[in-house]
Amino acid sequence: MSWVEVALDRAVGPLNRLWTYRVPEALEGDLLGYRVKVPLGSSAVEGYVMRQSTASVRDPAQVKAVLEVLDPYPLLTPALIELAFWIQGRYLAYLGQVLRAMVPQAVRSGGSPEAELAWIAAGSPPSARARRQQAIWAWVASQGVVTPEVLRAQFPDAGPLLRQMTRAGTLIAQRRETPTTYPVHPGLPLNRWQQAAYQAIAGGGERTWLLEGVTGSGKTEVYLELIADRLRAGRQALVLVPEIALTPQTVERFQRRFGEAVGVWHSGLGDRERAKTWHRARLGQIGVLVGARSAVFVPFPRLDLIILDEEHEATYKQEEHPRYHAREVAEARARLEGATVVLGSATPDVETAWRARRGHIGWCRLPERVAERPLPAVEVVDLREELRAGNRTIFSRRLQEVVDQALQRREQVILLLNRRGYATFVICRDCGEALKCPSCAVSLTFHAQDQRVHCHYCFHEAAVPERCPACGSRRIRYFGAGTERVVEEVRQRWPAARVARADRDAMSGRGSQERLYRQMLAGQVDILVGTQMIAKGMDWPRVTVVGVIAADVALNLPDFRSGERTFQLLVQASGRAGRGEIPGRVVIQTYNPEHYAITSAAQQNFEVMIEEELAFRESAGYPPYRHLWLLEVRGEYPEAARSKAEAVAAAVRERLLDQGAEVLGPAPAPIARMRNWWRFHILVKADDLQRVNPSLAEVADRLGPLTVTVDPYFML
Ligand code: ADP
Ligand code: ZN
Ligand code: ZN
């Protein structure tokens, strides 16, 4: 008798364990990783076979049988099964949630993989008792290779039999074409830094590597070379990029090198396309998959290399269940599959940089831009000085001068402000009251485009009141500039210049990013105004000036990563200047010219920044020195939410008493109310993830609902 342990496709606490089922004789065979239908109470639910055994179970009479096996081959590979357990433990996620992330909806709800398959007969014929199986076997053997359509035409209702025969090994579902290697076109000859990095990583020795290379140093070229080796050996590679960087240019670059072997995975894929790509990857028909965060779960038969480009990007952390970080998942997966991980960045995450400097992971550097193009010259302008000198515009005198020069020479300018909209506060001049979102504790942003106020945390929008809701005054004014306001000021100051804007509002249409890219390349835009969206990845050789309108936007957020984020944004933005023949120039405007994040970014001195940052993290007990847990309690009413948060905090304190943990709070979240929920935060700092996680899971089970984020990125 054999048994399987099944993880149910249900994201509910009480069902978050494995359930034992009996395998009926008709389904006997290797079921590991298969999706199955099983009884639960009076209904039938889907699940995945996570374990199987022949050892006896308690109360065999009580154990129900598997009802059905759902696909022609297992959707989960053994490595993905282990990875699911790892994620469950690491992030306190439910298995059901993890498996939903691993096997996307599009795959679960159909998208037949049959088109990719062909059948061949193998081994010895089925026993004479199984008459129909024998007939099918003999017929397939006589045909050589049979596609599913032809087989179905011959034996119309053979579906269950086919699955039985595949598991018995008498029929083999083969890939229609089984590539043993993938085509590779020649690339550029590597320079000496690239060559050294390539050789170090290709030589093995380390499971994970940090490839730290200044912007434009040729990191992508190193990835391509490493991938080429894997493809020639018939192995697969996975390339993760931030969603926003997953542009046609990025994909084209891979396609030029690897042609048909390239697959793409992003949020814009339709269900059919997604299911097809997933199955093609699963069957080894894709050699290199370029994708956003969730691509980290796509199955491959022989995965050998995982690359995370711009590994410092916060978008690699998923903010909903399962709250995983793609970098950590990639590393765990690589350990399970025997693959190598390459983390690439000009501004590595402080935690990654720390691991490289401590020798925990391999470390390669590309210290120069390709073709010895110099890094841009960076100047810091103190905005307090400007005010003192009577300059009330949003452009400092120095920035105006530099932009004037660039426009005269017909070069392009990028102006960065990491804030959308026109004005970030709408305030009454008489009573000082700011317009607030009725559902969130944040002020509303005025957008000039539709002349309305918007909340950036929920979907609330409204007309601007003519009179102040608090005192009735008509003296309503706008403060705090956003990108729309910058565009307006640019038009006033440089009326002849052609201006474009790039932020989430302006770039929501399909293909808008692509259009902007082409326009910039063709020189149809003189000044581009945008948010962090334009700070990354784009390669426009005629951009010689980058102006940062206010470097302080991120610096003042109540988040321990604010210094690091500011540094990264400034360096990435600076990296957009001077990528072509003409050297670049960067002007950073700020009210905090002495802050280490700004001075070190101005000098492009990562070591100084890392030292300051690590000293701060160590003294305050933040990662990489300790783990963090953010517990969030929500409620419709603030008093009830607070008292529940207090009960949770007390329970956490009691359980973690002997673990040297620091438990802070409860306190109202920095955004105390969001989408009508009152939010309270409890922050836990401790060292031993293995011990703390089960304790917090217990508290969540007993006092939940309660959101626990392990090593959070969004702290507001
Ligand atoms: P990064 O990924 O570090 O930003 P890229 O790989 O995109 O850098 O390289 C920057 C530019 O330099 C690209 O236009 C690329 O084609 C070019 N480049 C990279 N490596 C070489 C090389 N070895 N020889 C010539 N050009 C190169
Ligand atoms: Zn008022
Ligand atoms: Zn809101």
pLDDT at 508 over 90: no
Q: Do the domain assignments include residue 452?
A: no
- The last residue of one of the domains, among 67, 91, 108, is 108
Whether residue 444 is contained in a domain is answered as: no
Q: Which of 173, 161, 169, 166 is nearest to 135 (CA)?
A: 161
The confidence score (pLDDT) of residue 236 equals 96
Distance CA 108, CA 101 (A): 11
Res 316 pLDDT > 90: yes
* Cβ-contact 276, 112 below 8 angstroms: no
Q: 171: which 2 tokens?
A: 């029929």
- Residue 111, pLDDT > 60, answer no
Higher per-residue confidence, 125 vs 276: 276
Q: Is residue 344 lining ligand 1, measured as CB closer than 6 Å?
A: no
Q: Are residues 644 and 533 in the same domain?
A: no
Q: How confident is the model at residue 179 (pLDDT cuts 50, 70, 90)?
A: low
Q: Is 291 in the pocket of ligand 1 (CB under 6 A)?
A: no
* 48 and 137, same domain (yes or no): no
Of the two residues 287 and 71, the one the predictor is more confident about is 287
C-alpha span between 237 and 202 (Å, rounded): 13
Ligand 1 atom index nearest CA of 222: 6
Same domain, 329 and 360: yes
Whose C-alpha lies nearest to ligand 1, atom 20?
218
**Half-sphere exposure (Cβ direction) of 129: Cα atoms closer than 13 Å:** 0
What pLDDT score was predicted for residue 176?
A: 58
Looking at per-residue pLDDT, the higher value among 408 and 434 belongs to 408
Is residue 430, in this structure, part of any structural domain at all? no
Query: Does residue 501 share a domain with residue 554?
Result: yes
Task: Verify that 241 and 357 share a domain, yes or no.
Answer: yes
Return the CATH number at 645.
Answer: 3.30.70.600
Kindly state whether residue 450 falls inside one of the protein's structural domains: no
213 touches ligand 1 (CB under 6 Å):
yes
Q: What is the pLDDT of residue 536?
A: 67
Clarify whether residues 359 and 415 are in a common domain: no
645 and 687 part of one domain: yes
What pLDDT was estimated at residue 448?
86
* 465 lies in some domain: no
Ligand sitting nearest the alpha carbon of 471: 2
Question: Which among 289-298, 449-458, 673-682 has the top mean pLDDT?
Answer: 289-298
Confirm whether 94 is domain-assigned: yes
* 302 in a structural domain: yes
Residues 333 and 228 in one domain: yes
Q: Give pLDDT, residue 113.
A: 59
- 495 vs 10: which has the higher pLDDT: 495
* Cα 679 to ligand 3 centroid, rounded to whole Å: 13
> In this predicted structure, what is the pLDDT of residue 175?
61
pLDDT tens column, 334-373: 999 999 999 999 999 999 999 999 999 999 999 888 877 7
What is the CATH number for 324?
3.40.50.300
Cβ-Cβ contacts under 8 Å for 528 (sequence gap 6 or more): 412, 413, 414, 415, 499, 500, 501, 502, 516, 520, 534, 543
Q: What residues are paired with 307 via a beta bridge? A: 239, 342
CA 652 – CA 647 distance, rounded (Å):
9
340 or 270, higher pLDDT: 340
Evaluate if residue 707 carries a pLDDT over 60: yes
Same domain, 351 and 413: no
Q: ∠ CA 716-318-91 to the nearest 5 degrees?
A: 95
DSSP 317: B
Domain harbouring 84, CATH code: 3.40.1440.60
Q: Residue 101: phi, psi to the nearest 5?
A: -70, -35
Is the beta carbon of 421 within 6 A of some atom in ligand 1? no
Average pLDDT over residues 557-583: 86
Within-domain flag for 460: no
Model pLDDT for residues 595-614, shown as the tens digit of each residue: 999 999 999 889 999 999 99
Q: What percent of the chain has pLDDT over 70?
A: 97
Q: Ligand 1: does its nearest atom lie under 6 Å from the Cβ of 166? A: no
Res 514 pLDDT > 80: yes
Q: What is the mean pLDDT of residues 459-471?
A: 88
- Distance (angstroms) between ligand 1 centre and the Cα of 370 equals 6
| Domain total of the chain | 5
For residue 48, what pLDDT is reported?
97
Residue 157 has pLDDT above 90, yes or no: no
**Among candidate residues 590, 616, 642, the one where a domain is terminated:** 616
Domain containing 572 equals: 373-422+481-616
Last residue of some domain: 588, 616, 644? 616
Say yes or no: 30 and 104 in one domain.
yes
Judgement on whether residues 343 and 380 belong to the same structural domain of the protein: no
Going through 296-435 in order, the beta strands assigned E by DSSP cover: 303-309, 340-345, 362-366, 377-382, 412-416, 423-428
Q: What is the pTM of this model?
A: 0.86
Question: Which pLDDT score is estimated for 348?
Answer: 95
Ligand 1 contact, 188 CB (< 6 A) = yes
**Average per-residue pLDDT for the chain:** 89
For residue range 185-211, what is the model confidence (pLDDT) as tens digits? 999 999 999 999 999 999 988 999 999
81 in the same domain as 59: yes
